[in-house]
Amino acid sequence: MIINQFFLSNTFLSITCYNLCLLGINNNRDNTLFIGVGNTGSNITLDIVKEIKTAEYLLLNPKKVFNQNKKNVTIETGSWINPPIHKIRESFLENIDKVSHIFNTFSNIIIIGNLASKFGIAIIPTLTKLLHQIGDKVIISFVIMPFGFEKRRIFHSGVSLSFINKYSNSTIIVDNNSFLKNNPELSIPECFKITNNAVKDIIITSCGKGFPNEFNVIATSKESNNIEDVFSKSFTMCNNSRIKTIEKTCMFIYPAKEKIDRIDSIIKTAEKIANDSDNEINILSGPGNLSKIHLMIKTNNLLFSSYDPLNQFISINNFLDFEPETNNNIKEISHLKDIEAKLIQ
C-alpha cells in the first residue's frame, strides 16, 4: 500500500493508492519514441512534445499536411485517389526502410492513432507486429475507436484492434461511441478535442512512471465547474462502454479551484464503486478554472469482440479473417490493377 500526500489549499489530503503493477518504460524519456499515425495521432504527438521538450517522435501520414516537419514520413500510394486498406499497407511496407533504423535505437515505443480511419486501420497493426518481431521493446498503443454510425469502419477497426492488442504490451483505447452517447449535445469536433486531450494528459502524466499492461479503456468527460458532474459523466462512460470487469483503475483528477472536502468525497465514492479492484489516484494541476477527470480502466479485451461477428464462430487459435490485417506477404494482392489511374486517363 502506498500513501501519497498532496498539499492543497494549505491542507494535507492523504490518499490511499494501490500499486498498479505498472509497465515500466525504463523511467527514461530519452529512450522513448512517440509515433503519431495519421492526422489525429500526429496532432496528439505534437501536443505531447510541446510539453515534453526532449521527446523523440516520428509522424506517419498519407498526405503532405505535415511535410514541413522533418520527422514526418509520408506513405504515398501513387496514383490511387481512394486507396483500399491493403494498398495503404503495401505502400507502408515498401517504405519501411525509411523508418526501421529509427525503431532500433529505442526500447520504448508509444504509438498513437485513430482506428476510425483507413490509414490507422492499415498501419497500426502492421507497425505493432513489426516492432514486436524486432524484440526487446515495450510497445504501448493508444488507439481511438470509431463512432457507432461509422458502419463501414467498425469491422476493420475491430480486427485491427485484435492484432494491436496481441502485439502490444499495453493497449489503451478511447471508445468514441460511448463518449458520444454520454455527451449527445456535443459536436464531433468538440468530442475529438476532449478525447484527444485525455490521451495527451494521460500519456504526459504516465510517461515517467509507466503504464498498465494488457488492455485498458479511457473514460472522460467535458470540463465543468462542478467536479461531481465530471466524475459522474466519466464513470457513466464506463457503463456505456459495457465494461463488466474492472481489474484496476487509475484516476487523473484536475480539480482546478475545487474544495478539498469535495475531492475527498469523490475519491471515497470512486473506491466504493471500484470495490476490490486496485486503485491509483493522481491529483494534478492544470490550466483553467474548470475541473476534469480521466479514468484509465484495466479490463478484458472482449469489449469490442462484437465488432467482428466471426469471433463467436471461429476459434481464437484460427485466423480466417485476421491474417490479412498483418500479412507481410503482399504478392497475392500486388497484381491488382490500378483501376483508378486508368479511369482518370
- pLDDT, mean over the chain: 76
**Residue that wins the pLDDT comparison between 240 and 296:** 296
Q: Which residue has the higher pLDDT, 267 or 49?
A: 49
- Supply the pLDDT for residue 248: 79
Q: What is the pLDDT of residue 333?
A: 47
Q: Which residue would you say has higher pLDDT here, 125 or 184?
A: 125
Q: Which residue has the higher pLDDT, 75 or 240?
A: 75
pLDDT at 343 over 70: no
Give pTM, 2 decimals.
Answer: 0.80
Q: What is the pLDDT of residue 305?
A: 61
- Mean pLDDT to the nearest integer, 244-270: 81
Residue 316 exposed, middle or buried by CB count within 10 Å (0-12, 13-18, 19+): exposed
Q: Has residue 9 got a pLDDT over 80?
A: no
CA torsion sign for 18, 21, 23, 29 is: positive
Contact 144, 174 (CB under 8 A): yes
Band (pLDDT 50/70/90 cuts) for residue 341 is very low
The better pLDDT of the pair 325, 233 is held by: 233
Angle (nearest 5°) at CA 210 between 293 and 249: 40
- The pLDDT value recorded for residue 109 is 93
Strand pairing report for 138-145 and 72-74: unpaired
Pick from 286, 199, 191: which is nearest to 233 by CA? 191
pLDDT in tens, 15-30: 333 333 455 554 444 5
Question: Measured between alpha carbons, how far is residue 313 from residues 214, 305, 318, 329 in Å?
Answer: 24, 12, 11, 26
pLDDT above 70: percentage of residues in the chain: 74
Enter the C-alpha cell of residue 298: 484495466
Q: Check residue 186 and give its pLDDT.
A: 85
User: What integer pLDDT is reported at residue 30 of this predicted model?
Assistant: 53
Report the pLDDT averaged over residues 75-104.
85
Q: What is residue 79's predicted lDDT score, i.e. its pLDDT? A: 79
pLDDT tens sequence across 270-323:
777 766 667 788 888 877 788 888 888 887 766 666 565 555 555 555 544 444
Q: What is the mean pLDDT of residues 332-340?
A: 48
Q: Which pLDDT belongs to residue 20?
A: 35
Q: For position 274, what pLDDT does the model report? A: 66
Residue 311 has a pLDDT of: 54
Q: Domain coordinates of the chain in residue numbers?
A: 23-248+306-344
Query: Candidates 3.30.1330.40, 3.40.50.300, 2.40.50.140, 3.40.50.1440; correct CATH number of 23-248+306-344?
Result: 3.40.50.1440
Q: What is the pLDDT of residue 28?
A: 46
**Mean pLDDT throughout 244-271?**
81
324/34: higher pLDDT? 34
> Is residue 43's pLDDT more than 90?
yes
> Distance between CA 83 and CA 289 in Å, rounded?
45
- CA nearest 232: which of 221, 240, 242, 245? 221
